[in-house]
């Protein structure tokens, strides 16, 4: 239940990908923008975008020579809800199983 919804967190473990989704949350960008914003080489950015794309987190719209990327609506909803569920669980005192 929790595990499957949170396997996206494996993707967001990498700081570079977190920065990518953070930037895409504010505005749609194409690869060249991300390359200069992140200060990383183009193949690296493309590699991360591929991972995010295959996970359904982002989607790319080819526009001439450029490819604009944006976050896919609702892609993070289940993961966010699962994490909120865990966070609220920390506020209650769970029972202690005897050894």
Q: Under the rule (CB under 7 A), what is the footprint of DNA?
A: 10, 13-14, 16-17, 30-32, 35, 40-51, 60, 64-67, 99
Which one of a copy of itself, DNA, none interacts with residue 36, CB within 5 to 8 A by kind?
none
Q: Does 89 bind a copy of itself (CB under 8 A)?
A: yes
Question: How far, in Å, CA of 91 to CA of 17, rounded?
Answer: 30
Ranges within 27-66 binding a copy of itself (CB under 8 A)? 27-30, 32-33, 66
Q: How many residues does the chain have?
A: 99
Q: 52 φ, ψ to 5°?
A: -65, -35
Question: How far, in Å, CA of 56 to CA of 68, rounded?
Answer: 15
């Amino acid at each position: 239940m929790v595990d499957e919804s949170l396997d996206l967190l494996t993707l967001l473990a990498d700081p570079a990908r977190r920065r990518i989704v953070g930037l895409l949350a504010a505005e749609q960008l194409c690869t060249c923008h991300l390359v200069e914003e992140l200060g990383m080489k183009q193949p690296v950015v493309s590699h991360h975008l591929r991972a995010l794309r295959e996970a359904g987190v982002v989607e790319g719209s080819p526009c001439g020579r450029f490819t604009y990327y944006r976050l896919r609506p609702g892609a993070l909803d289940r993961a966010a809800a699962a994490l909120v569920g865990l966070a609220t669980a920390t506020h209650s005192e769970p029972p202690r199983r005897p050894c």
